[in-house]
Amino acid sequence: MPVISVEKNLDLLTITIVAEFAAPLRRLWDAYTDPRQIERFWGPPTYPATFLRHDAITGGRSVYKMTSPEGEEYYGCWEWTLVQAPNAIEVADSFADAKGEPNTDLPTTRMAFAFEAVDSGSRLVTTSRFDSLEQLEQLLEMGMLEGTREAMSQIDAVLADLAAFATDRATEAQILSDTQVRVARIIRGPVEHVWRAHNDADLMKKWLLGPDGWKMPICEIAAKVGDSYRYEWANEAGGDRFGFTGKLLEAQAPYRAITTEAMIGMDFPATLNELTLTPVEHGTLLSLVITYANAEQRDTALATGMTDGMETSYARLEGILGSAAA
């Protein structure tokens, strides 16, 4: 068991949990900032978590749900108030509704995570602070302490599973819900370079091409929130052509952008695309959460082989970034 001590301080209204892991500091840090990893241990084994948003930056947000054995879904959200990689994270953790909005009728826990290297690997000190003794007791009665112990007991297995999150893994799509898919891949290159590659038309025309044999004659960037974009591709052999258009709804360079996306000339509902770039040990974790109108549209998109096309593009992007760094 990684938990080595639990201390309740009723005067300071805190609960402090100390845990140690036989893994390097950066490996532990990445497990908390990568949504694919933290969702494997944030909830107890019987209430697994799914992270629908996870911004590992000061001022960012996370939205997650825990699913009961009966299929009931319980939502929570984080407001990230401090991120100092790889040593400190502070968040306000609240119960939430299905849209990720905090439930003000239930207590909010202010959590501080302190990461440090030790001789045996790494140590994590998690301090939870409450606004009143009543709030602390309410969460204890709800099983917070037992749930946290069970959740943290899963971290060792995640840390040991290096293969699942290796930098040489191809682009993967994970179904999050009936309407949402998360596409993820680690790009070898710094966050700032990956962001630029998504916002520089000349660069995009070099890598965002999908399978070989295509070109991108139109690449109109949305320079600021509210602007529209338009991307079109054409088969170099002639004939086939397709494209997408949409609007930039939110941007926080170089970490996050939200856009709509509709296929030109088709009567399909527009999707909502949430791009998040997270620094990890060997580059940048690119996470794209796509929200469809319904499960049928989701499955139709996945059946097109879009993940394979994205992998070809991301591999091409890595080559460009590697050449620039050489």
pLDDT (0 to 100) of residue 148: 85
**pLDDT on residue 142:** 83
Helix or strand (DSSP H, E) at 158: helix 155-160
Amino acid identity, position 286: L
pLDDT at 322: 87
Q: What number is the average pLDDT over the span 223-237?
A: 96
Token digits for 86?
């790889």
Q: Token pair 């695309």 is at which residue?
A: 273
Encoding tokens for residue 237?
A: 């052999």
Euclidean distance between CA atoms 314 and 95, whole angstroms:
36
Model pLDDT for residues 231-245, shown as the tens digit of each residue:
999 999 887 899 999
- Going by C-alpha positions, the residue among 199, 183, 205, 195 that lies closest to residue 301 is 183
Q: Evaluate if residue 1 carries a pLDDT over 60.
A: no
Residue 143's pLDDT is what? Answer: 84
Return the pLDDT at 326: 58
Q: Is the pLDDT of residue 30 over 60?
A: yes
User: Are 204 and 313 in contact, with CB atoms under 8 Å apart?
Assistant: no
Is residue 149 scored above 90 in pLDDT? no
Helix (H, G, I), strand (E, B) or coil at 213: coil
What's the token pair of residue 291?
């929200």
Structure tokens at 244: 């997408």
pTM: 0.94
DSSP 164: G
115: pLDDT strictly greater than 60: yes
Are 256 and 276 contacting, i.e. CB atoms less than 8 angstroms apart? yes
Q: 204-234 b/e with 16+ CB inside 10 Å = b?
A: bbebbbbeeebebeebebbeeeeeebebbbb
Percent of the chain with pLDDT over 70: 99
**Average pLDDT for residues 16-28, to the nearest whole number?**
95
> What is the per-residue pLDDT across 161-203, written as a single tens digit (0 to 9) for each?
988 898 889 999 999 999 999 999 999 999 999 999 999 999 9
Please indicate whether residue 214 or residue 148 has the higher confidence score (pLDDT).
214
pLDDT in tens, 40-95: 999 889 999 999 999 999 999 999 999 999 999 999 999 999 999 999 999 999 99
DSSP classification of residue 64: E
Q: Which residues 6+ apart lie within 8 Å of 131 measured at CB?
A: 13, 107, 108
E strand or H helix at 315, and its extent?
Answer: helix 306-325
Q: How does the average pLDDT of the chain come out, rounded? A: 94
The pLDDT of residue 151: 86
Instruction: Determine the average pLDDT of the residues in 200-208.
Output: 97
* Cα 65 to Cα 45: distance, rounded to the nearest angstrom: 14
pLDDT at residue 324 above 80? no
Looking at residues 249-274, what average pLDDT do you find?
96
Share of the chain above pLDDT 90, in %: 85
**Structural domains of the chain in order of their starting residue, each with its CATH number:** 3-165 (3.30.530.20), 172-325 (3.30.530.20)
Encoded tokens for 71: 């299929």
**Which residues is 261 bridged to in the sheet?**
271
